[in-house]
Amino acid sequence: MRAIESVHNMQSQMRDWRREGVTVGFVPTMGALHAGHLALVERAKRETERVVVSIFVNPTQFNDPKDLEHYPRPLEKDLTLLSSMNVDGAFLPQAREMYADNYNYAVTERELSRVLCGPTRPGHFAGMLTVVLKLLNVVSADKAFFGQKDYQQLKLIQGMARAFFLPTEIVGCATVRETDGLAMSSRNLMLTAEQRQLAPEIYKTLKSARSKEDAVETLTRLGFRVDYVEEHWGRRFAAAFLGNVRLIDNVEL
């Protein structure tokens, strides 16, 4: 596996692969890799001939500086894991290069980003869309793979790809869960042992509640601080806090 830190070198590698005529799959991540990420990598390996995984904790999508500060960054462990999976390239860009413009240019969306996580995470989706657009332009893969746990994010990225005529196909992949139902997330590493025991109740409640109001009542009673439970696009969504850790999940209705 080749570890690539600069945009120039990543673009150079892509040109080499294009000359070889191979297809390329891309999995953008913020690191702290888990089985959900690895499922995306496996899907990319099945559908393309070369696979690139990026690891970049994007500062512009954090509306809470403390959240950014405490976000897990086990880089060496992540690279060892990717190498063991025979990933072809690990793209490790630096913030000073990704935001050489000091974030003067940003991508905004005017409708979908205003529901669910939008109202309580100001600036999050602009930061996310901006960095994803940059990454997709640098890697210029045939396909990019994203999980459905962040369903709103997936829909926004798919919409951005259509709006800007991006050549990369955006592929949505099913949420990967722990055996107790908890959606896999890098943020799960931040839970205490007691919180980890309680966390799967989000998924169970979303599935079993008769209404979104009942789901809010149940989660609150269990000890969650509920941000929202809403229903859109034939799915039920929730965001709730355990301590300072914000968890999200969604299920098909």
Amino acid residing at 116: L
Displacement of CA 39 from its chain's centroid (Å): 13
What sign does the CA torsion over 5, 152, 112, 169 have?
A: positive
Q: How many angstroms separate the CA atoms of 249 and 202, rounded?
A: 7
Could you report how far apart the first and last alpha carbons of the chain are, in Å?
Answer: 41
Displacement of CA 171 from its chain's centroid (Å): 13
Q: How many angstroms separate the CA atoms of 164 and 144, rounded?
A: 15
Count of C-beta atoms within a 10 Å radius of residue 169? 14
Per-residue exposure over 210-249, b if at least 16 CB sit within 10 Å of its own CB, e if not: eebeebbebbeeeebebbbbbeeeeebbbbbebeebbbbb
Alpha-carbon distances of 125 from 45, 62, 115, 148, 201, rounded to whole Å = 28, 9, 11, 16, 27
SS3 234: coil
Where in the sequence numbering do the catalytic residues fall? 37
